[in-house]
Chains A and B, each alone.
Chain A
């Protein structure tokens, strides 16, 4: 696949933009060009938040999303916010606990316990990393090793073990969904 679009959506403070940055760096390491945009509200926590990746070989003419191939939803507030950008080939991955009413349509929807898995690891804040590696394991949009290297390289030592545990747990969830 040469061109595709990914959206991380949820509420502000969930680490969606960080996940997008990690995936973006991994994709660039694999030779893609990425345009990453984000939208958030003028608050430090809460509010609708999202980050999009428009992935291509060479710079994209229009750097914003036009049709999502992959959509991750980590909060109910964002559940229906991207419906206009979904098509029959889209893959939607939602948190089974925080998104009680996922979008409905001709596309595939996977309900996965990102938040619950993170909680079991001891910190609900790593749900973003669980979801990120689940997405990559399920879709194959980049190599898991590439992403793991990025997560290792960009995580402060204090959170290294936790983030890598979250990464592994997410991979396991994603492989089940694939």
Chain B
């Protein structure tokens, strides 16, 4: 039965989280992400979940990590200034392999910047915001329905892989209201983490398994476990033994390489035979999609590559998508972040052009179309 409703991007993130089985939200509201917290405060009690507003973003991220260590699906949401504060405990979750989902609705920055205006300036912070070599997954919905489905995918990935997942949205998409049919979007099944079920004796919380994902000890099941932000051995205790330290760190990052096919997700629109391929995320991708339609109507062969999984960047898929193209264009609402990754992958084989906007307004289809005509 059709269940057509007008839903906001932020609210869709919250409903997606509930559909994915999230039962804990630790938050500290901040524009333009506050509606995620608002919706979770309303929805979580209905499913027996827990909503807690902490004293700040650092504590809220700590609460999320703690809840997840307790065995439940947990999330938080924030925007630039709060995302900066969450990085410390996010790094702990990366190191200790604690599943969690963080929605970051990007606004103008740096610092408090422009609270109600959109930006895409956290592309690199989402990847490298916390220190050290660390695994992380970043997803980029570009519509209200994708806010719903990608938040569900974020939970599925974080639970399966024990890697924190960022849902990276810009203010336009977070505050956009679109008509969606929830019945079309809700999955039949969702995924939970693999809990330990081996004998308690000799259990190692960071055991090296074939899939590189250690089974998670459920509190109360009797497993002895030690969790730390220090580099640790399979038994969970710290080590500075060079071989053991390297092996431990390498496993957490190699894990993403091993499970690349599960993580990677992109949309290709008219890339086959395109003279120019646009690479874009979020609202910039929606503008690019319209520009592709408009330009194709004028006989200009242009395509769109949209990495819904932004990090790890879908390298081989992009390289295949630009076969035969003469140039690549990266429109983004920052001074040039994703373009750096695209330039790295093109490695001088194709010219990579940038279209940047940092005035608090979204990039428009006509701006993209004009740039395409200029560089082709």
Contacts and interface: CB of A to CB of B under 8 A. Distances in A.
Interface stretch (A59-67, A69-77, A115-123, A130-138): A59-67
A33 B178 contact: yes
Given A28-B6, A37-B175, A42-B31, A61 B290 contact: yes
B137 interface: no
B116 interface: yes
A146 interface: no
B287 interface: yes
A32 interface: yes
Interface string A62-97: 111010000000000000000000000000000000
A66 B179 contact: no
A32 B178 CA distance: 11
Interface string B154-186: 000000000000000000100111110000000
A35 interface: yes
A101 interface: no
Nearest to A54: B178
How many interface residues does chain B have, given as a range?
20 to 34
Nearest to B286: A62
Interface string B58-90: 000000000000000000000000000000000
B6 A24 contact: yes
A173 interface: no
Contacts of B178: 33-36, 59, 63
A122 B364 CA distance: 42
Given A28-B179, A42-B31, A63-B176, A36 B289 contact: no
Nearest to A32: B179
Interface in A124-152: none
A64 B179 contact: no
A37 B6 CA distance: 12
Q: Which of A24, A36, A42, A63 has the most CB of B within 10 A?
A: A63
Contacts, number: 64
B290 A62 contact: yes
Given A25-B6, A28-B179, A36-B177, A61 B293 contact: yes
B95 interface: no
A14 B373 CA distance: 42
B233 interface: no
B4 A28 contact: yes
Interface string B353-376: 000000000101110000000000
B268 to A, nearest CB: 15
Nearest to B177: A36
Nearest to A24: B6
A64 B172 contact: yes
Interface in B163-222: 172, 175-179
Interface class of chain B by DSSP: mixed
Given A25-B6, A61-B286, A36 B176 contact: yes
Interface in B269-299: 283, 286-287, 289-290, 293
B365 A34 contact: no
B143 interface: yes
B293 A24 contact: no
A59 B143 contact: yes
B174 to A, nearest CB: 11
Contacts of B6: 21, 24-25, 28, 34, 36
Given A34-B6, A62-B286, A62-B289, A24 B365 contact: no
Contacts of B31: 42
A42 B286 contact: no
B109 interface: no
Given A21-B6, A28-B6, A42-B116, A62 B365 contact: yes
B91 interface: no
Nearest to B145: A59
Interface of A: 21, 24-25, 28, 32-42, 59, 61-64, 66
26 contacts: A21-B6, A24-B6, A28-B4, A28-B6, A32-B179, A33-B179, A34-B177, A35-B179, A36-B6, A36-B177, A37-B172, A37-B177, A38-B175, A59-B178, A61-B286, A61-B293, A62-B365, A63-B176, A63-B178, A63-B286, A64-B283, A64-B364, A66-B290, A66-B364, A66-B365, A66-B366
